[in-house]
Amino acid sequence: MTNKEIAQQLNISEHTVESQLTKANTFIRTKLKDHYELSIALLFTMLMR
C-alpha cells in the first residue's frame, strides 16, 4: 500500500502516515542495533515476500 492509500483508509493525512512510519523505522533500527544477526534475518524475510 502507498502512503496515500493508507491515509485514505485511515482517514488521516499523508504527512501523518509518513511521520509515523519514520518513527516506527527509527524505533526498529534502535532496538535491533545490538542484534545484527536478527536484523539480517528479518531483512531477508521481508525481502522474500
Please report the sign of the dihedral spanned by the C-alpha atoms of residue 21, residue 25, residue 27, residue 28. Answer: positive
Whole-number pLDDT of residue 6: 96
Whole-number pLDDT of residue 25: 93
Distances from the Cα of 39 to the Cαs of 22, 23, 43, in angstroms?
17, 17, 6
Whole-number pLDDT of residue 4: 96
The residue whose grid cell reads 528479518 is 42
Whole-number pLDDT of residue 32: 76
Residue 7 C-alpha cell reads as: 491515509
What are the pLDDT digits (tens) for 3-37?
A: 999 999 999 999 999 999 999 999 988 887 777 77
Residue 10 C-alpha cell reads as: 485511515
Report d(CA 3, CA 9) in Å as an integer: 10
Whole-number pLDDT of residue 43: 85
Q: What is the CB-side half-sphere exposure of residue 29 using CA atoms within 13 A?
A: 6
pTM over cut 0.75 = no
